[in-house]
Amino acid sequence: MKSFIEVKNDSDFPLQNLPYGIFAKDENEIPHAGTAIGDYIFDLTAAEKKGLINSEDTAGKKVFTNGTLNEFMSCSKEVHREFRKIITSLLDENNPKLRDNKELRSECLIKMENVKMQMPVQIGDYTDFYSSKQHATNVGIMFRGKENALMPNWLHIPVAYHGRASSVVISGTDIVRPKGQTKAEDAEMPSFGPSRLLDFELETGFFIGKGNKLGDPISIENASDHIFGMVLVNDWSARDIQKWEYVPLGPFLGKNFATSISPWIVTMEALEPFRIRGEKQEPEPLPYLKSSGNNSFNIKLDVYIKPKDSDKEELISESNFKNLYWDIYQQLAHHTVNGCNMKTGDLLASGTISGPDKYSYGSLLELTWRGSEPIKLSSGDELKFLRDGDELIIKGYCQGDCYRIGFGEVRGKILPAK
């Protein structure tokens, strides 16, 4: 497939991708829905108004006029597939409908550099999983020793905690260094102040499309019908605050101050060619969690640091989505097995994704082994944890034959505590 719009081979957004997002040309404009194609955005709100996309026929209602994607996401998978076919056809190099109509092109095709991306979804709830075996093992070794690295339940259930949806922010949002209580090993009493061990977490997340009723679990066989698409996630973590507070109920102030996501939601249809088999699970999960077939994806994930007063982005970690032990279908099935109701726009994140070797670890906690093995930067500086002025960037993509399905990036700059 090829579009009449020029798309470079290393672009994240070829015709095979068509991710969904929300953008605004200026701050006084009502945000529009769009899909990315090369360096352009195809304005779906404008296309709907112009009749290029006849959503009245496919969904029974206009779905791109509300400034979020929730209305569209709540539609069935059949509707999503129909829209994908329509948009693909309109952007195809052999279709003259948009290609040869200069007026329509000027109204519906906008350069990315001329817009500001917005939060694509009104997020109702946010859950963060803990699904990378390597990450859980690393953290367990640090805090409990090799003999007790994994807790007894970890190989039987996808462990998770409920995060804070209100502090989920779009890529490019600055992150203010959080304050809280911490306690030094040799101190009798805790102290209060800015976090000194501020960290990133390399994650992905998926959005719920169609929800379920309270009391009606989503089976693992039907889980794919409820997943709309995926984004990159950085679940920022204040390790010193988290260490002091997490017993007995888990993360709180050390995690709820900010979670950053990438602006483009890559659909599961676009990711379909990159399915692979996930990690072997031993012991075998209970029947409601048995996942068969290729239920993971080959998504390359890279982490960069842009130090304060530097224009250079330095690669510090290379991981892959396939390093998750629990897959997204197991996560959703477990989340709802007790009858929990999911709603359109709910965000479920993977937890830190760490690979088998040090260079593939998904956090500074692991990369520097609690600060004992600093990362040496090209400037000669040593990085243990994030400093004020540092900018952290996560990028991700699936590599195809002369094309890639990319997620764009999620970035955030650390500001001093207030």
The residues annotated as belonging to the active site are 135
| Strand segments (E) across 355-390 | 375-376, 382-383
The amino acid present at 268, given as its one-letter code, is M
Asked if 347 and 123 count as a contact pair (C-beta separation under 8 A), the reply is: yes
- DSSP summary character for residue 310: -
Give every CB contact of residue 81 below 8 A, 6+ residues apart in sequence: 269
DSSP state string for 122-156: ----EEEE---HHHHHHHHHHHH-GGGSS-TTTTT
Residue 287 Ramachandran class (φ > 0 left, ψ -120 to 50 alpha, else beta): alpha
Q: 3-state class of 63 per DSSP?
A: coil
Distance CA 120, CA 168 (A): 11
DSSP-assigned letter for residue 215:
T
User: In Å, how far are 168, 361, 398 from 2, measured between CA atoms?
Assistant: 35, 36, 18
- What are the backbone angles phi and psi of residue 307, rounded to the nearest 5°? -65, 160
| Angle (CA) 278 129 77, round 5° | 65
Nearest alpha carbon to residue 387 among 188, 191, 175, 230: 175
Whose tokens are 């095709």? That residue is 109
Instruction: For residue 283, say if its preceding peptide bond is cis, omega within 30 degrees of 0.
Output: yes
CA distances, 356 to each of 157, 222, 314, 376, 399 (Å): 21, 31, 21, 21, 21
Please give the Cα distance from 269 to 78 (Å, whole number): 11
